[in-house]
Amino acid sequence: MSCLHRRLNAEWIGAVFIPPDDPNGQLPGDLTFQGQPCDEIVTTPFRRYSNSKCCSTGDRLWARLPRLARRHSSVQHPGISGQLREKLMARPSNRSRVIDAAVRLAERDGVRGVTIEAVAEEAGMTKGGVQYHFNKDEMMDAIISDIWRRTEVEAQRRLPVPFEQASLIQRLEAYVIASAATEVHGGELVIFLDGSHSEEINTQWRRFVERWTSAPGEGLTDAQQVVLLALDGLWMNEVSGRLLFSKAQRAALVDTLLRHLTL
């Protein structure tokens, strides 16, 4: 199997065979998830054989989606029939199954319980099927990166303008709201606190935070820095279960943090 196909199978979703006589078989202008364009679309050659003879050729379309999108995939394109779209939506992502199984194990048995063998059993897959997507270190990295990717999606949704046009205050407000709203599972926190992930993931996390808490020519005030520290404390206490707030209490706390951003 080529490196390209391994990468696509491991990281991409939405393989759609388009035969050459399909009137909608041209490369689509866009493929969307919940109204948002996918990160990237590529095609790979495809040949279908019958009795050892090539009977048709075409392309497989691949659209990169974040794991959250894969878990709730909603592929929309006029060139994809409703029946095929339903099949794509119903087909689970093995990569997501692996990650979800690892998170459940971490919450139940701790990080030491997250082995390739245990994940395979929990996910109902073979050991080779798990290793096709991840080794253990890659699995831990994927779980941690998924947290900030979900927060990124939520923060983008909260911005009133495109990110490049957003002021520092608008970015901070979106980041505070998104961080408070993004659900983090207990197993994800166990892995996060254990440090069972690479320095590269730590670097990516720092860049994510810096992206939302800085802007060219603008610096944070003391009050804004205190808000970010308080937000970290709120997030950690809620996820760990040490402090549990009602929806009304949480909303009041977030409103307080937002007010202090402009002090």
Mean pLDDT on 3-11: 37
Residue-wise pLDDT for 230-239, tens only, equals 998 887 777 6
Residue-wise pLDDT for 204-219, tens only, equals 888 888 989 987 667 8
pLDDT exceeds cutoff 50 at 261: yes
Residue 239's pLDDT is 67
Mean pLDDT on 61-89: 42
Q: At 185, phi and psi to the nearest 5?
A: -85, 155
Reading the block at residue 205, the tokens are: 């996390």
Rama region for 109: left / alpha / beta (φ>0; ψ in -120 to 50; rest) = alpha
Mean pLDDT on 180-185: 84
Residue 12's pLDDT is 39
Q: What class is the 135-260 domain?
A: mainly alpha
| Residue boundaries of the structural domains of the chain | 3-66, 135-260
Express as a percent the part of the chain with pLDDT over 90.
22
Could you count the other beta carbons within 10 Å of the beta carbon of residue 76?
Answer: 12
C-beta separation of 94 from 67 below 8 A: no
C-beta separation of 244 from 207 below 8 A: no
Residue-wise pLDDT for 197-206, tens only, equals 778 888 888 8
Residue 196's pLDDT is 67
Reading the block at residue 106, the tokens are: 């971490």
- The mean pLDDT value of the chain amounts to 71
Rounded distance between C-alpha atoms, residue 36 and residue 175, angstroms: 19
pTM: 0.61
pLDDT exceeds cutoff 70 at 129: yes
**pLDDT-derived band at 102, boundaries 50, 70, 90:** very high
Rounded distance between C-alpha atoms, residue 35 and residue 31, angstroms: 9
